Amino acid sequence: MKHTSKRWMGTGIAVILTTAMVTGCAGGAKNNAGDGTQGGGAGAGAKPFEGKSITLVTANHPWGDAIKPLLPEFEAATGMKVNVQSFFEDQLTQKLTVQFTAGSATPDVFMYRPLQEGKLFYKNGWVNPLDEYPQKDASYDFNDFSKSAIGSVTVDGKLAGIPIITEQEILYYRKDLLKNAGLEVPKTMDELMAAVKKLHDPSKEMYGFVARGQRSPLVTQVSSFLYSEGADFMNGDKATINTPEAVKAFTTYGTLLRDFGPPGVLNMSWPQAFGIFAQGKIAFMTDANSLYGNVTDKEKSKVADQVGFAMFPGGKAGSKPYSITSWGLSMNAKSANKDAAWEFIKWASSKDVVLKTQQAGNPGARASIWDKAEGTTGFPAELVPIIKESAKVGVDHDRPVVISVGEARDAVGEIVQQVMAGQTNIQDTANKANAALQTIVDKDKTK
């Protein structure tokens, strides 16, 4: 099956590393410190991990497809043997939880979703902070990673993982519709609202706007509306989804869907939203840049040649889309072979390897690769500057950063759905949702 960018958001598998030490090779890992070789970490002819074996469980995901063909070069440089295993996303989380709860020393390294289970894994003591590792090798150039991507993998001030896949919320639009109507691409939320109203014509099955309307899925996408109004889900340990700025953001999102969305939008997640855009029935859509292939693929989209990309429209605080790490690599706190585990993470996130995986269409977190012409060949030329700018100004989370993520998303999503249902004054709903989110935050402190 051909994998496309749509796999980045939902189904997936993740990566696990387990390390087996072969008798007689003790001390080999010590040789890799400070070597400085980009991509493998081993000097010419040196194989510091000779005789060791690691198991890599990689995603049914474009990043996994891109990394597998590169593994032989890692094996040749380090002397390690890499064995590959795979799990679907939900299976992976369950497997990791069972193994970590049992205190297992394997897997040594695992692929995970930082904003979904990162805080839970860290709070439970399952991940090994990586703060000291990037500093051991200057050529790794840790400062090359975008600030927002590192923010996503940071928990309580500690580096809990390394970013491998990034994502930002952008504005999708129909070039032909704007041109015919004499409209400029909206740069502000007010301009977006005006353009949406002008292009909305249900009598011709043309709808001004679409986005995720389902209670939980919508939360990640309304986050950019929230930040761009100067609000956030929380301020420290205090829930803040009932502030005037937050209420305005939720009202704007809900109103766009209620008044200018297609029939059934209340039940739409990203597949349905992208599907109806691809049918040519939508003027504007806000969602993840990683899903662009669903509307630019001529085999799936009737408007593939007319899709435009733009920065998320600015609100009171300007344009502040989420800019996150959707997948990262982390190390098991109980791993018996942490030097070997880091060697793989370092290689997989090195400049050379990120260049290769990004050329295959996997958006990485290194600024230097986005600045290289050869690093952007896997993306539409018009999308590249939007990704680069979004990474610079974006916010490092797209949901409340709590342990009980599902409960928190439901609380936030309820506010927007009430707007979509026609409620004109949502302050009471926002107050109740804020109290529910505060309870979740407080509960996290006792875990």
Task: For residue range 53-62, list pLDDT tens digits in order.
Answer: 877 766 577 8
Count structural domains, the chain. 2
Is 419 in the same domain as 312?
yes
287-336 pLDDT tens trace: 999 999 999 999 999 999 999 999 999 999 999 999 999 999 999 999 88
334-348 pLDDT tens trace: 988 888 899 999 999
How far is Cα 84 from Cα 15, in angstroms, rounded to an integer? 9
The answer to whether 222 and 253 have CB atoms below 8 angstroms apart is yes
How far is Cα 58 from Cα 413, in angstroms, rounded to an integer? 32
Is 195 in the same domain as 336?
no
Is 275 in the same domain as 409?
yes
**Full domain range(s) for residue 336:** 53-160+324-393
Is 135 in the same domain as 110?
yes
Any domain includes 306: yes
Each of the 447 residues of the chain gets a pLDDT tens digit; together they read: 434 433 343 333 344 444 333 333 333 333 333 333 344 444 445 688 998 887 776 657 788 889 889 999 999 999 998 777 778 877 888 888 898 999 998 888 898 899 999 999 999 999 999 999 999 999 999 999 999 999 999 999 999 999 999 999 999 999 999 999 999 999 999 999 999 999 999 999 999 999 999 999 999 999 999 999 999 999 999 999 999 999 999 999 999 999 999 999 999 999 999 999 999 999 999 999 999 999 999 999 999 999 999 999 999 999 999 999 999 999 999 988 888 899 999 999 999 999 999 999 999 999 999 999 999 999 999 999 999 999 999 999 999 999 999 999 999 999 999 999 999 889 999 999 999 999 999 998 886
Bridge partners of 331, per DSSP, are 109
Is 97 in the same domain as 190?
no
* Residue from 362, 377, 442 nearest 404 by CA: 442
The answer to whether 30 and 136 have CB atoms below 8 angstroms apart is no
Any domain includes 347: yes
Is 76 in the same domain as 134?
yes
Residue 72 structure tokens: 């032989």
Is 213 in the same domain as 271?
yes
Any domain includes 248: yes
Is 209 in the same domain as 295?
yes
Give the pLDDT confidence score for residue 189 in this predicted structure: 98
Planar angle of CA 285, 168, 108, nearest 5 degrees: 135
Is 330 in the same domain as 317?
no
Is 311 in the same domain as 416?
yes
Give the pLDDT confidence score for residue 5 in this predicted structure: 39
Q: What is the CATH number of the domain that holds 329?
A: 3.40.190.10
Show which of 393, 411, 429 is a domain's final residue: 393
Distances (CA, A) of 357 to 1, 147, 360: 19, 20, 5
What would the DSSP string read from start to end of 294-321? Answer: HHH-TTT-TTGGGEEEEPPPBBTTB---
> Please, what is the angle between helix 218-228 and helix 244-260, to 10°?
130
How far is Cα 60 from Cα 81, in angstroms, rounded to an integer? 21
Is 193 in the same domain as 295?
yes
Planar angle of CA 173, 179, 183, nearest 5 degrees: 75
Q: Nearest 5°: phi and psi at 256?
A: -60, -40
Task: Say which residues have a Cβ less than 8 Å from residue 181's Cβ, sequence separation at least 6.
Answer: 195, 198, 199
Is 278 in the same domain as 426?
yes
Residue 36 structure tokens: 């400085």
DSSP state of 142: G
Residue 368 structure tokens: 């230097």
171-230 pLDDT tens trace: 999 999 999 999 999 999 999 999 999 999 999 999 999 999 999 999 999 999 999 999
Residue type, 306: Q
The answer to whether 447 and 245 have CB atoms below 8 angstroms apart is no
Residues 91-100: contacts with CB under 8 Å, at least 24 apart: 91/13, 92/12, 92/13, 92/14, 92/16, 92/57, 93/117, 96/16, 96/121, 96/126, 100/124, 100/126, 100/332
Bridge partners of 292, per DSSP, are none
User: CA Rg, the chain, in Å?
Assistant: 22
Distance, CA of 405 to chain centre:
15
Any domain includes 155: yes
CA dihedral of residues 286, 288, 289, 292 (deg, nearest 10): -80
Per-residue burial over 179-216, b if 16 or more Cβ lie within 10 Å, else e, is eeeebebbeebeebbebbeebbeeeeebbbbbbbbbbb
Any domain includes 138: yes
Show which of 367, 393, 419 is a domain's final residue: 393
